[in-house]
Amino acid sequence: MQELLQFQPGDVLVTDMTDPDWEPTMKMAAAIVTNRGGCTCHAAIVSREIGVPCIVGTEQATAVLHNGQSVTVSCAEGEVGVVYEGVLQLSRETLDVAHLPRPRTKIMLNVGSPDQAFVHSFLPNDGVGLARQEFIISSAIQIHPLALVHFDTLPAGPTKDKIAQLTQHYPNKPNYFVDRLAEGVGQIAAAFYPKDVIVRLSDLKSNEYTGLLGGEQFEPKEENPMLGFRGASRYYDERYRAGFLLECQAMKQVRDEMGLTNVKLMVPFCRTVEEGKKVLAILAEAGLKRGEQGLEIYVMCELPANIIRTEKFAEIFDGFSIGSNDLTQLTLGLDRDSAIVAHLFDERDPAVKQLIADVTQRAQACGRKVGICGQAPSDYPEFARFLVTCGVDSISLNPDTVLKTTQAIVEIEQQMVLSRTS
């Protein structure tokens, strides 16, 4: 960590792994290279948000690369990234997006960083299919919501002093969380207004919440946080409910006070229909009632249970957004945080594709929209082709893949029309 103090804007960040504490440095980096991690690790996810090239899971980056060395990091040559010795010349291709044909399938964006929202809004798009709160919470807020709710009872020490410093203009400490979260989500919603912006409610895991200021006071220690106290299960649990209500206040502020009614909400990791009903009840109590002022509430479709009980989930939610990362993890029985089994993680596995095709058909038969906001269509053109043939309503992409994937989808749809008429 001491070396981070010497890091300069434009340097290449080479490390074993990253975590939320590294994010200020990651924003300065020209590229990121790690020893460990897979396509869904912290470094990979954050680098996509901030538009920085990133290579993960090299196993030997910190041994091979050294301080002061000139290198070129390339992520533009297929599925495997490459680090070249020296500074290479780059070529640039210019595309006139004003005349780019639009496909039938809606092309939406995955957005997490408010700072990038207005830039990304100029890409050809139909809105935001996944606006993540996690980046705002870890970067702009940095404080565990319950540490603000219970600020007066926190033990004296450096953590409490830091929280006091960050919230010095907030006599009512919880309002700091509400205002900062509303500002971040509002910036994303304003950038794309009046297009739909689907905001996923918080999906930090307990180990990630622990990393926030004051988090150690309120979080359990879990052996596998990926399968533990996350998503919907936190919202109604008395151990976290007060924190979730701050989140609800922020979303109500965005829709009611800012007038950004293009914001729709999405519930992640909802294990059962009964759990979904509990979350909807809390949202309604907080003034976010499904159907009022056009509010739509979606469910992340990322557990096999969501697909097995498609029709029941369709009764209480307005649509499904397929999260291919977690769906792959739970279908194949993989811990996607484990580098040991990372080579088995593949959203293109036939079992995963069969589930996606199944839920698309059944949900649409119930009159519900189906989109996908996972990583797969951004990474694999053939997966985008599969989704189009399934007939999904929308595909949400990382901004850096929008143009090439849109072109590919237009071609796929044209081929499908020709095959029907021939």
Question: pLDDT digit string (tens) for 324-356?
Answer: 999 999 999 998 777 788 889 899 999 999 999
pLDDT in tens, 179-210: 999 999 999 999 999 999 999 999 999 999 99
Q: Of the residues 39, 41, 42, 248, which is catalytic?
A: 42
178 with 253, same domain? yes
Domain count of the fold of the chain = 3
Percent of the chain at pLDDT > 70 equals 99
Residue 373 a catalytic site member: yes
Query: ω before 171 within 30° of 0 (cis)?
Result: no
| Same-domain check for residues 361 and 316 | yes
DSSP 8-state code for residue 264: E
Does residue 152 share a domain with residue 269?
yes
Q: Are residues 68 and 164 in the same domain?
A: no
Q: Which domain holds residue 327?
A: 101-106+296-422
pLDDT at 241: 98
Final residue belonging to a domain, choices 295, 330, 353: 295
What backbone torsions phi and psi does residue 231 show, to the nearest 5 degrees? 60, -140
Look up the CATH number of the domain holding residue 334.
3.20.20.60
Same domain, yes or no: 271 and 316: no
Q: What is the pLDDT of residues 233-247, one digit of tens each?
A: 999 999 999 999 999
Do 275 and 314 share a domain, yes or no? no
Q: Does residue 114 lie within any of the structural domains?
A: no
**Residue 128 domain-assigned (yes or no):** no
Q: Which residues of 199-227 are buried (b: 16+ CB within 10 A; e: fewer)?
A: bbbbbbbbbbbbbbbbbebbbeeeeebbe
The answer to whether residue 42 is catalytic is yes
Catalytic one among 248, 270, 301, 373?
Answer: 373
Is residue 145 within 8 Å of residue 177, measured between CB atoms? yes
